[in-house]
Amino acid sequence: MARPVTLFTGQWADLPLAKMAPLARKMGYDGLELACWGDHVDVAKAARDKTYCKEKRALLKKHKLELFSISHHLAGQLVCDPNNDSRSDAFVPKKQQGDAGAKRDWAVQTMKNAARAARNLGVDVVNGFTGSPIWHLLYSFPPVPPEMIEEGFRRFAELWNPILDEFDKCKVRFALEVHPTEIAFDIHTAERALEAVGRREAFGFNFDPSHLIWQFVEPVEFIKAFPDRIYHVHMKDAARTLDGRSGILASHLNFGDPRRGWDFRSVGRGDVDFEEIIRALNRIAYQGPLSVEWEDSGMERVAGATESCAFVKGIDFQPGELAFDAAFDKSKR
């Protein structure tokens, strides 16, 4: 049986869930990965009100949609982010805006609520970001002492272990979307993040190849490196558009600008080799959803997300039980 194909609603939070759900079904999706913003999931309410959670599930069931995970990237980002400018003010209530410490305190509590909300909604994975206290140190000038990086990973563990304690209590796992600006953005930093939290089972990864491919990190190698930590999968594409004028740091150009050295693409229209990803997921026996995170500044989103759903359903396949030449083995006749 093929894996369910779901749609992450983070890029569709401008639509109320009552409109998003029938649209997703019309586009061909089997379920939704609900974002914890817009009106899709209010984690504070879902953490305490089981009736609210039943209503969300009933709305999805009405449109023949399943729910396998929820995602709270925006709050997770603020846990470790320095929060020292106005960019993230829109992520928090007005009361916390402009106050770095207040943003972080709110984010920690909200991520704990995300675990409780997931439990009440009947799902066992929350996807999201962690933020990073050391992303701004990526380029080592002025020179960055190794101890400064180590301190960053210790700070990550200090802030996230209490959150992960709540995930353990709720029997829910957190899946970090490995991504620039997070504590883990490639294979080496993902390994360090795991070590920092003692490789506890509550912490794993939301595998998203689009954030690896433009860094020249091979997505399949990530799956091979963490076969027991792939808790969720995003199907998202990106293309390197290097032309000798730009690099992979994107030149301070917005998404969609043709001068960028890379950009996101509708699934199947970029550089990601999804067939090899499916083969790698089969090897690790991943049976969770394949969740389309649709982003392509050059396409109309309903057409793009519809096409992406069909592409993912077409590229997915289950592993064979026998080698192709097993039929020639006379000893098994």
Residue 296 vs residue 328, higher pLDDT: 296
Nearest to 127 by CA among 84, 181, 77: 77
d(CA 324, CA 66): 34
How wide is the angle at C-alpha 37 spanned by C-alphas 32 and 38, nearest 5°? 90
Per-residue confidence (pLDDT) for residue 32, from 0 to 100: 98
Q: Where is pLDDT greater, at 49 or 2?
A: 49
Give 146-150's long-range contacts (Cβ < 8 A, gap of 24+).
none
Check if the beta carbon of residue 36 is closer than 8 Å to that of residue 43. Answer: yes
**Percent of the chain whose predicted confidence (pLDDT) is above 70:** 96
The tokens for 261 are 């050295």
Q: 2 pLDDT band (50/70/90 cuts)?
A: confident
The number of beta carbons lying within 10 Å of the beta carbon of residue 86 is: 9
- Mean pLDDT, to the nearest integer, of 256-267? 97
The average pLDDT across 189-205 equals 98
264: tokens are: 């996101």
What pTM did the predictor assign?
Answer: 0.95
Q: Which two tokens stand for residue 21?
A: 């759900």
Interacting residues of 167 by C-beta distance below 8 A, sequence separation 6+? 115, 126, 173, 174, 202
Which residue, among 136, 164, 153, has the nearest Cα to 191 in the 3D structure? 153
Our CA angle for 48, 53, 55, nearest 5°, is 135
Q: Report pLDDT for 278.
A: 98
Percentage of the residues of the chain whose pLDDT score is greater than 90: 95
Q: pLDDT tens, 154-167?
A: 999 999 999 999 99
Outline where DSSP puts E strands in the chain: 5-8, 31-35, 66-71, 125-128, 173-177, 203-207, 230-235, 237-240, 262-265, 290-292
Question: What is the predicted pLDDT for the residue at 47?
Answer: 98
| Distance of alpha carbon 239 from alpha carbon 247, whole angstroms | 13
Phi-psi category of residue 284: left, alpha or beta, with phi > 0 → left and psi -120 to 50 → alpha: alpha
Mean pLDDT of 180-206: 98
Helix (H) / strand (E) element for 154: namely: helix 146-170
pLDDT at 332 (0 to 100): 56
**pLDDT band per the 50, 70, 90 thresholds, residue 333:** low
pLDDT at 235 over 60: yes
Give the separation between CA 27 and CA 16, rounded to whole angstroms: 17
Closest CA to 14 of 40, 42, 41: 40
What is the SS3 assignment for 85?
Answer: coil
Please provide the DSSP assignment of 176-199 as one string.
Answer: EE--TTSS--SHHHHHHHHHHTTT
Calculate mean pLDDT across residues 122-139. 98
Bridge partner list, 35: 71
Domains along the sequence of the chain with CATH: 5-332 (3.20.20.150)
> Which among 28, 25, 19 has a CA at the least distance from the CA of 313?
28
Q: Using 50, 70 and 90 to split pLDDT, how confident is the model at 56?
A: very high
Give the whole-angstrom CA distance, residue 129 versus residue 45. Answer: 21
pLDDT band at 322 (very low <50, low <70, confident <90, very high): low
Work out the mean pLDDT of the chain and round it to a whole number: 96
User: Rounded CA gap, 126 and 174, in Å?
Assistant: 5
The answer to whether residue 328 scores a pLDDT higher than 70 is no
Mean pLDDT over 230-255 rounds to 97
Q: Which two tokens stand for residue 230?
A: 């792939």
Contact 200, 228 (CB under 8 A): no
